[in-house]
Amino acid sequence: MANSQKYNSWVHAGFYSGLQKLSVPLSSIFITMILTKKVLTVEEVSIWGLLMTATAILELIRQGLVKTAMVKYINSCEEEDEKKVIAAGFYLNIIITAIVAVAMFLITPWLANVFHAPALKNMLYILQAGLLVNIPFSHFEWLMYGKQVFKGLYWTYIVRQGLTLALVACMLFIPFKQPLYILVIIYNVAMLAGTITARTFVKKYLTGAYNFSKEWITRLFHFGKYVFASGISTLVFRNADQMLMPAILKTPVYNAFQGLALRVISLSDLPSQTLGDILFPKTAHSKNNSNPQVIKYYYEKAVGASLCLIIPLLLCVFIFPKLVILVLANEDYYPAIPYMRLILITAVALSFLKQFGVIMDSTGKQKHNLIAITFLAVLQVLLCYFLIGKYQLMGAGYALLISHAIGFIITQGMLYYYYKINFLNAFKYAVKFYPEFYGIIVHKMPWKKTK
């Protein structure tokens, strides 16, 4: 009973947050199955993958400058300042989005040329129309994170991803001369539907939350600038191989193989994302962020829970890679198997690295996170530059493996120095979590409550 109460809030939050996070990679996998089997050629799949990387970049920029600061201050400011924080996040979001939109408009022709993907040019222009919709969507989403309205996040993404999947499925029966352009339009329409859904869950927090406050905009920006810089470095660290490969090898085809493998790996990143969304507000709370023992417990427990979920998945992918490829695509994508097997181990390291960033940002050590991730980003770029040219797709895998191994060593050293965190405890929690999780779920079952 004590254990169920201890983890009840985590399980309740994790249930909806996990479902919300799961909807994204699952829908992406089904969309990939449709696109790779029936709708797009291998080259078109690679171009679509480049666009998805571009959207991830845009989101990371805005989240780094706005989301983290907004969520932190919603959970640590005085009650009378909460509306000012929400308003400041909204106006800062508008400013950042406008700057990003102008910059992207100017460099779009250059990007299409560098990646040897002419179709990417018009796709990016269509995507920019969706940036206007993305302003309220992201604001509502971040507000739900800050207030921990995970049920609202779940339904928002069910609507958005569900509509995307349904419209993409229609492309199986309706042929288009330019399917890539139709996909971008679908992306924008689905985001609009998600925005309408999200507003129903946050409208009670929006009353009086539009008063302009220069003080709070400045505070959010100054906090976010370090997180933003860390976000840019994280972006380079996570996407350098995808961005450099078409430029180095003079073709985007390898990105199709890589993208398919990364779709599978993204499922293993789901627990880390879910737990990070729960962990950040808890560790950012004023009563927790100065207590090393609490930070140590939260980190080790969160990583342990992540490991217990991803390790079985990774083993299945390693043992049955051809089956995974055939389910998602067809035999044309078998060249992705060696790369996919190689990078499986990076998913384990990523569980530790992702929560490192959460802990550092939430406890006021943004500069430390920035320095660490910037070093790893530079290392990743150098490794990709030398290894991709020599080993092609496998070179990208070698670079990813080396940089994650070094990153694990550096970040665990920092966590032990500041919080006495021992990464071995995460593996102990992973083993212990199976019976604990089973006990909590059984306790919450309806037939248990009636006894």
Mean pLDDT across the chain = 82
Split at pLDDT 50, 70, 90, the class of 222 is: confident
CA distances from 406 to 187, 328, 374 (A): 37, 32, 13
pLDDT for residue 52 is more than 80: yes
Residue ranges of the domains in the chain?
Answer: 2-449
Give the separation between CA 131 and CA 97, rounded to whole angstroms: 7
pLDDT at 375 over 60: yes
Q: How confident is the model at residue 190 (pLDDT cuts 50, 70, 90)?
A: very high
Per-residue pLDDT, 6: 46
- More confident: 285 or 19: 19
Which position has the higher pLDDT, 195 or 284? 195
Which percentage of the chain shows pLDDT scores above 70? 85
pLDDT above 80: residue 283: no
Is residue 69 a contact partner of residue 220, using CB atoms and an 8 Å limit? yes
pLDDT of 133 strictly over 50: yes
The top-scoring range by mean pLDDT among 38-52, 119-133, 360-374, 405-419 is 405-419
Long-range contact pairs involving 160-165 (C-beta distance under 8 Å, separation at least 24): 160/190, 160/191, 160/193, 160/194, 160/197, 161/23, 161/24, 161/26, 161/27, 161/190, 162/23, 162/27, 163/189, 163/190, 163/193, 164/27, 164/31, 164/190, 165/27, 165/30, 165/31
Give the least confident one: 158-167, 182-191, 223-232, 442-451: 442-451
Q: Up-side HSE of residue 283: CA atoms within 13 Å toward CB?
A: 30
Measured in degrees and rounded to the nearest 5, phi and psi for residue 118 equal -55, -35
Q: Is the pLDDT of residue 3 over 60?
A: no
Structure tokens at 220: 């959010």
- Going by C-alpha positions, the residue among 228, 302, 434, 435 that lies closest to residue 18 is 302
Query: 54-58, 173-177, 417-421: which has the highest mean pLDDT?
Result: 417-421
The CA radius of gyration of the chain, in Å to the nearest whole number, is 22
**Residue 281's pLDDT is what?**
54
First to last CA, the chain: 14
**Phi/psi at 304 (nearest 5 deg)?**
-60, -45
Residue 286 has pLDDT above 50, yes or no: no
| Cα 383 to Cα 387: distance, rounded to the nearest angstrom | 6
Structure confidence at residue 1 (pLDDT) = 45
For residues 4 and 266, the model is more confident at 266
Check residue 313 and give its pLDDT. Answer: 86
Alpha-carbon span 308 to 2, nearest angstrom: 22
pLDDT tens digits, one per residue of 13-51: 555 566 666 666 677 777 777 887 778 888 888 888 888
Cα–Cα distances in angstroms (integers) from residue 311 to residues 11, 322, 343, in the given order: 20, 19, 13
Per-residue pLDDT tens over the stretch 101-123: 899 899 999 988 988 888 899 99
pLDDT at 308 over 60: yes
pLDDT digits (tens, 9 = 90+) for 431-451: 887 776 666 566 655 555 554
Higher pLDDT: 265 or 398? It is 398
Query: What local confidence, expressed as pLDDT, does residue 2 receive?
Result: 45
Per-residue pLDDT, averaged over 184-189, amounts to: 94
Three-state SS for the chain is CHHHHHHHHHHHHHHHHHHHHHHHHHHHHHHHHHHHHHHCCHHHHHHHHHHHHHHHHHHHHHHHHHHHHHHHHHHHCCHHHHHHHHHHHHHHHHHHHHHHHHHHHHHHHHHHHHCCCCHHHHHHHHHHHHHHHHHHHHHHHHHHHHCCCHHHHHHHHHHHHHHHHHHHHHCCCCCCCCHHHHHHHHHHHHHHHHHHHHHHHHHHHHCCCCCCCHHHHHHHHHHHHHHHHHHHHHHHHHHHHHHHHHHHHCCCHHHHHHHHHHHHHHHHHHHHHHHHHHHHHHHHCCCCCCCHHHHHHHHHHHHHHHHHHHHHHHHHHHHCHHHHHHHHCCHHHCCHHHHHHHHHHHHHHHHHHHHHHHHHHHCCCHHHHHHHHHHHHHHHHHHHHHHHHHHCHHHHHHHHHHHHHHHHHHHHHHHHHHHCCCHHHHHHHHHHHHHHHHHHHHHHCHHHHCC
Q: What is the mean pLDDT of residues 264-278?
A: 63
pLDDT, position 240: 86
How far is the C-alpha of 366 from the C-alpha of 93, rounded, in Å?
Answer: 20
Region 336-357 average pLDDT = 89
Chain centre distance of CA 319: 26
Mean pLDDT of 199-226: 84
Contacts of 158 (CB under 8 A, 6+ apart): 20, 23
Closest to 31 measured CA to CA, from 17, 10, 51, 16: 51
CA distance 305 to 431: 9
Separation CA 451–CA 438 (nearest Å): 18
